[in-house]
Amino acid sequence: MRISVITNWAYAATVVLTVLSGSAFILSATSANRERIAVEEHLALSDLAEGLALGAEERTDEARLYVMRDDISYLDAFQGKEAEERLRERSIKGIRDLGVAPIELQALDDVQKNADVLDRIEQEAIALYRKGDQAGARQALFGPEHERIQTALLSAVTRFRDLVNARTQAVMQDTQKRSDWWGFVAKTLLAVTAAVFLSVLYFILKRRIAMPLMRMTGIVTRLARQDYAVDVPLDRRRDEIGEMNEAIHIFRENGLERDRLDAERRRDQQTKDLILQMMHRLQACQAQDELAEVVALFAPQIFPDLAGNLYIMNESRSTLSRISSWHEPRRSEPVFPATACWGLRRGRPHASSREHGDISCQHLDHQDAMGLCVPLTAQGDVVGLLYFEERPQGHIQAEASRLYLELIAENIGLAAANLQLRDKLTNLSIRDALTGLYNRRSLDEDVNHHARDREMEQLCCMMIDIDHFKRFNDEFGHDAGDEVMRYVAQTIVDTIGEAGRAYRFGGEEFTVLLPGIGDAEGFDIAERLRSNIRGLPLSHRGRILGPISVSIGVGSLAEGAAVSTLLTRADAALLEAKAQGRNMTVMASVLLPDSKRRGSA
């Protein structure tokens, strides 16, 4: 029941009980007033009766003294007493009009009659005395008739007073009972009113209002401080406190939802900021290693619950190789063919998971963890793959995260494509298009760099010329000649490995720089190279091109010469090797000064 209804009922009951208790108090007071009136009547009647008896005795005494002493003052006193008697008679008449009991009226009539008879006897005695009949007057005042009437008068007064006392006592007892009864009723109603009031105070104000309000005050205070972790017990009461509790509960739920939305917004903004930072750094990358480092740094920050790999497609567009990794993914292989990924086949993100009921990529094992493959594309070409995998405590979220994944993949793909394009342009500027070796410009830059920064370090130079190269062009065509040059270039690269760099000097001539290598070791490498080129005949379009040989001139800084003359001295050694019959290696250090000449190829 609602508090307002209970309060209204309690208020109405309190008003009714208060009115009833007030009425009972009024009735009790009325009974007490009746008792007071009865007592006053009793006293008045008693005084009247007493006055009649006393007046009769005094008049008798005045009459007797007048007769015995013949003193006129006694006669005057007797006559004054007569006036008082007349006044009492009028009072008796007024008492009759009050409606006293008949038996009391009878007794009062007897008193009046005896008083009249006694007064008449005394009047007659005074009249006899004044006529001179003293003996007759005395006989009348002191005779047996006077005594009898006087005694009857006193008896009637006594009887009247007894009747009045009895009636007054009965009236007083009745009014006392009524007063006590209504007083008890008034007190009982007052007690019930107090009980109702106290019940309202305790059960309504304290139990149903004060205590819940005190409990909710602490809850509201914590909610005002945005402490939504406070527990709000749901009160099912159908009253104002229950409605307030429900409102507080709704406020808390709204606060929790608002906090959750704010947290999601902050996380989303943080993710966007990280993605923006990642984009800026991707645009500033100048090498593929830097790209891999940037992705490995920001991907775990953006998606902390996901492990992943970054794969780049090789030049032949057949294989993907992992260049960076984070959070140790377990399912995907480090290297796999492009056809092993359904994401690359479909050209769109592909989720490999039993829960999604889709086929798994072939480069993943059969664990239960979900894997997501996002192709990296640029200008319609696939340049790599971004792979994400669920960690034990995380999961790949829905659409919002998928959008971020695709956005990141798009930017990584563009950055990777830009780097590949940059590498291609750089290679075109520093490498020979036919052989893939560094060009003459790169050779000059490297020699100048060594001369400027590393002049005291050993440096070995090999000048290589293909023997009788014109024959391949004349007999087999220029395509065959190009194939010979590519073959020689590849053999040079395979032979020197990481020991140095190979350049196309011009035409069919090549140059090799070997930093940190002296004459003897340089001569050994040159001989190994010459042997490798000579060891296998080359064919082109089904025709045997015949054996290929090269002449090599080797020079170094061991002779104490300047770097700027290193290429000249190696070239002079090459000319000497060609002059001595080709297919040999000549050291510049064994040449005489007059042998520095250039012959024909």
DSSP 582: S
Does the structure show a pLDDT above 80 at 437? yes
- 108-164 pLDDT, tens digit per residue, is 777 778 777 877 887 787 888 778 787 887 787 788 887 888 788 788 778 877 877
Euclidean distance between CA atoms 525 and 162, whole angstroms: 166
- Mean pLDDT in residue range 77-103: 64
- 359-370 pLDDT, tens digit per residue, is 888 888 766 667
pLDDT at position 167 = 72
> Is 398 in the same domain as 470?
no
> Is 455 in the same domain as 391?
no
List the domain range (segments joined by +) for residue 134: 3-196
Asked if the structure places residue 216 within a domain, the reply is no
CATH code at position 80: 1.20.120
> Is 132 in the same domain as 165?
yes
Does the structure show a pLDDT above 50 at 527? yes
> Is 38 in the same domain as 180?
yes
- Among 163, 196, 229, residue at a domain's last position: 196
- Mean pLDDT in residue range 546-575: 85
- Among 196, 230, 260, residue at a domain's last position: 196
pLDDT band at 594 (very low <50, low <70, confident <90, very high): very low
Does the structure show a pLDDT above 70 at 82? no
Beta strand pairing call for 335-337 and 350-352: unpaired
- Among 145, 164, 196, residue at a domain's last position: 196
Dihedral angle, C-alpha 7, 11, 12, 17, nearest 10 °: 140
- 157-201 pLDDT, tens digit per residue, is 788 778 777 777 777 778 778 777 887 887 888 888 888 777 766
Task: Determine contact, residues 517/499, Cβ cutoff 8 Å.
Answer: yes
pLDDT band at 322 (very low <50, low <70, confident <90, very high): very high
User: Number of structural domains, the chain?
Assistant: 3
- 224-268 pLDDT, tens digit per residue, is 777 767 777 766 666 666 777 777 777 778 877 888 888 888 888
Asked if the structure places residue 476 within a domain, the reply is yes
| Identified catalytic residue from 35, 122, 483, 508 | 508
> Is 137 in the same domain as 59?
yes
**Residues contacting 575, CB < 8 A, separation 6+:** 553, 597, 598, 599
CA triple 106-110-111, angle to 5 deg: 120
Asked if the structure places residue 104 within a domain, the reply is yes
pLDDT at position 510 = 96
- 338-394 pLDDT, tens digit per residue, is 899 998 888 888 888 766 667 888 888 766 667 888 999 887 888 999 998 887 665
* C-alpha closest to that of 350 among 370, 373, 371, 368: 373
> Is 478 in the same domain as 587?
yes
- 485-500 pLDDT, tens digit per residue, is 999 999 999 999 999 9
> Is 554 in the same domain as 453?
yes
CATH code at position 313: 3.30.450.40
Task: Map tokens 């019959």 to a residue.
Answer: 581
DSSP 360: P
pLDDT at position 86 = 65
> How many CA atoms within 13 Å lie on the side-chain side of 543?
11
pLDDT at position 203 = 65
Task: Determine contact, residues 223/230, Cβ cutoff 8 Å.
Answer: yes
> Is 89 in the same domain as 155?
yes
DSSP string over 208-243: IIIHHHHHHHHHHHHHHTT-TTS--PPP--SSHHHH
Residue with the larger pLDDT of the pair 116 and 287? 287
> Best-predicted range by mean pLDDT among 48-52, 214-218, 279-283, 419-423?
279-283
Asked if the structure places residue 601 within a domain, the reply is no
Asked if the structure places residue 521 within a domain, the reply is yes
Give the distance, in angstroms, between the CA of residue 320 and the centroid of all CA atoms in the same chain: 47
Asked if the structure places residue 273 within a domain, the reply is no
pLDDT at position 6 = 63
pLDDT at position 192 = 83
> Is 393 in the same domain as 437?
no
Dihedral angle, C-alpha 136, 137, 140, 141, nearest 10 °: -150
pLDDT at position 600 = 34
Residue 508 bears catalytic tag: yes
pLDDT at position 599 = 36
DSSP 318: S
Three-state SS sequence of 434-482: CCCCECHHHHHHHHHHHHHHCCCCCEEEEEEEECCHHHHHHHHCHHHHH
Asked if the structure places residue 297 within a domain, the reply is no
- 508-525 pLDDT, tens digit per residue, is 999 999 998 888 899 999
Task: Determine contact, residues 376/357, Cβ cutoff 8 Å.
Answer: no
pLDDT at position 579 = 92
Task: Determine contact, residues 446/439, Cβ cutoff 8 Å.
Answer: no
Does the structure show a pLDDT above 60 at 561? yes
CATH code at position 498: 3.30.70.270
Asked if the structure places residue 213 within a domain, the reply is no
Helix (H, G, I), strand (E, B) or coil at 162: helix
* C-alpha closest to that of 289 among 332, 254, 324, 330: 324
pLDDT band at 83 (very low <50, low <70, confident <90, very high): low
pTM over 0.75: no
> Is 350 in the same domain as 492?
no
> How many CA atoms within 13 Å lie on the side-chain side of 165?
9
pLDDT at position 462 = 94
Cα dihedral across residues 443, 449, 452, 453: positive or negative: negative
Euclidean distance between CA atoms 255 and 257, whole angstroms: 5
pLDDT band at 454 (very low <50, low <70, confident <90, very high): low
> Is 508 in the same domain as 401?
no
Task: Determine contact, residues 329/300, Cβ cutoff 8 Å.
Answer: no
Q: What share of the chain in percent tops pLDDT 90?
A: 17
pLDDT at position 325 = 92
Residue with the larger pLDDT of the pair 160 and 286? 286
pLDDT at position 489 = 94
> Is 381 in the same domain as 461?
no
* C-alpha closest to that of 557 among 485, 425, 461: 461
CA dist 264 → 400, 415, 537 (Å): 11, 29, 69
